[in-house]
Amino acid sequence: MSGQTIERENVLSKNFSTPFDTVPFDQISTEDFIPAIHLALTNGRNEIEKICNNPSKPGFANTIVALEQSGKDIIRISKILFNLNSVETNAVIQQIVRDISPLLTEYSNDIALNEGLFFRIKSVWDNRSKLRLDKESEMLLEKTFKRFTRNGANLTPDKKELIRGINKELSDLSIRFSENVLNETNEYSLHITDENDLMGLPEFAKEVATNVAKNEGKDGWIFSLQAPSYSPFMQYVDNRALRKELFMAFNSRSSKGDKNDNQAIINKIVKLRYDRAQLLGYDTWADYILEERMANSKEIVYDFIYDIKKYAQPVATKEMEELTAYAKTLGFEDERLQRWDFSYYSEKLKKEKYSVNDEILKPYFKLENVLNGIFEVANLLYGLSFNKNSEIKTWHDDVVTYEVYNETGNFVAIWYGDFFPRPGKRAGAWNNTLQSQWVEKGKEFRPHVVNVGNFSKPTNNKPSLLTFYEVQTLFHEFGHALHDMLAKGKYASLSGTGVAWDFVELPSQLMENFVYEKEALKLFAKHFDSGEIIPDELITKIRESANFMAGYGTLRQLALGLIDMSWHATKPNGKAISEVEREADLTHHLYPETEAYTVSPAFSHIFSGGYSAGYYSYKWSEVLDADAFDMFREKGIFNREVAESFRENILSKGGSQKPMELYKKFRGREPKTAAMLKRSGLLTID
């Protein structure tokens, strides 16, 4: 009406009227988040109060299930916000995250430390033997009870307040850590104007760097710390001084004593985690975390790391001796290689030994072809089909969206793919959900899954062509997506990737195996220009080169796991970051001392992700995936019986049962380390 202001409706505060209830990103304003989350928090608190004040005797349905199904709008809005903060952030979104995160932490604390609520949960737990629950419901009850006891429900009031403060501060520090790494990554660029400085760099990498420079209104070439720019530079550029410059920029991120420095933040995070563990009755943060993992003690983790190290270290030492000797045949004059020499000389040696490198392989890995190959693999294994839907709204024009269906035509999931770097997007690759799978009041909610990467964008002359490592990465993240898409449970918190951290990488790493298989590669590896299917001799070379520098790669992965444990498995002792890393880095002896080289200040997995005291899980899961994939190899990599068993016993079950129980149902026994050692070429040492 004339003279009246019509208040805009907050789309986040209502159910979405969109295809498959997908997020209407085109309708969301940043102004919507704070009022929407305030309303959702109020409603969530009312739901908790209703549970606490229920006059009926505490039961599984009116307490445990009611708690599980409370706060759904909080989860929905948070998933949207934190997805945007990862893939398309800006100063406004970052401030919203800073404003909202304390509110979410306070809400979580209010629930975890609610005495009336815990009284009801404990009552159900104490009477569990009389409830006759199915396995999934038993697991929900167990995890709910443990979640409360492990978050301070049994503490005295004064200690509960300390836990509240620690939780809030840890949330704030994690956000600051992540922002600092993103800022440091975005603020650096290497501008080169003399083409002689780029001798050795393939045309595909030059073209990308030229386009970046043009977009910034500059001549020459611009390189960044994003993987599609950084990795080719380190592998191919002959200019050693420039390789060192870029290497040190990457490996000193957030450690320069400036506004983006994370060193003090790390010390605060580590101390607060230790204090929190102590308050809860655990010796260290690692003891607290590992209680709920497959490797359920730090002793098991250390034994695992050092057992694999026995096989990897002599192989890695031999590999580095060979690489150094090879570098000297090319004119390298120093006694030992530096860290910024490794990628350069190993790429050359790999090509000489196996006549294969990324420059040769990239033309066969057009992004769209690889995607179609992944979809076909998923169809052959699990009967899934993927229909592109350009009408579903996304957060950026680069994002592609697909509807996923099973063989009987039933809707399975929505899948989003976001593959190119941009300033508002953090580095790396990951999987997350905008909506999980669960059942409520007889209605099943199907998942909306997001896969993110940072691959080379198409240029004026070429489509997006992936390195072989990027192909592996795409398959890896899609393995996580399958875990979420094929979930078939009752409870969202146990659905899909809601499993122990050292089990969550099994489906993702199992999918990586397919990129080495001829049957799979022939489905999608086609030359982007000629359409030629990848020749058998190149597939042979890919397989032969699979274990190239595997000893070093294994040692490097174990070293990262040890750095993680060094921070979290002992009492904080005030040691400098450089000292902690030097003692834990298993590759340290292979190189001369490198001043200002650090890992921890940009180690987002353990300081702003979910992998604290858990980075070992990547290698742990390698044992699982190698052992599991042997079963696929034995009966055919696309054997539907094996795939159906993996779907039924692993993918669909999520966290509804203990990981080892699920694995044994699939494999018929516990996993054996031998398959991983054999696959990596670490069992035999000349």
Candidate CATH numbers 1.20.81.30, 3.10.620.30, 1.10.1370.10, 1.10.760.10; the one for domain 263-337+550-615: 1.10.1370.10
Domain segments of the chain: what residues?
15-154, 188-250, 263-337+550-615, 363-544+618-662
Structure tokens at 174: 């994690």
Same fold, 263-337+550-615 and 363-544+618-662: yes
Candidate CATH numbers 3.40.50.720, 1.10.3720.10, 1.20.1050.40, 1.10.486.10; the one for domain 15-154: 1.20.1050.40
**Count of beta carbons in the 10 Å neighbourhood of residue 99:** 12
For residue 200, what are the CA distances in angstroms to 213, 244, 334, 425, 495? 19, 15, 21, 29, 48
pLDDT at site 9: 86
Which residues, in sequence order, are CB contacts of 159 under 8 Å at separation 6+? 152, 279
Give the burial class of 8: count Cβ atoms within 10 A of its Cβ; 0-12 exposed, 13-18 middle, 19 or more buried. exposed
pLDDT at site 448: 98
3-state secondary structure of 239: coil
Class of the CATH-defined domain 363-544+618-662? mainly alpha
- Minimal CA–CA distance to 631: which of 664, 657, 677, 659? 664
| Series of mean pLDDT values for 10-residue runs along the chain (686 residues) | 56 95 97 97 98 98 98 98 97 97 97 97 97 97 98 96 96 96 95 97 92 94 95 97 98 96 98 98 98 96 97 96 98 96 97 94 97 98 98 97 98 98 93 98 97 92 94 98 98 97 95 98 97 97 95 97 98 93 92 93 95 96 97 97 98 97 97 94 69
Residue type, 531: G
> Phi, psi at residue 191, to the nearest 5°?
-100, 120
3-state secondary structure of 465: strand
Q: For CA atoms 354, 355, 359, 361, give the dihedral sign.
A: negative
Map tokens 């909506």 to a residue.
435
Catalytic residue among 347, 477, 581, 622, which? 477
User: Annotated catalytic, 477?
Assistant: yes
pLDDT at site 684: 63
Q: Alpha-carbon distance 31 to 38, whole Å?
A: 12
Q: Is the pTM of this model over 0.85?
A: yes
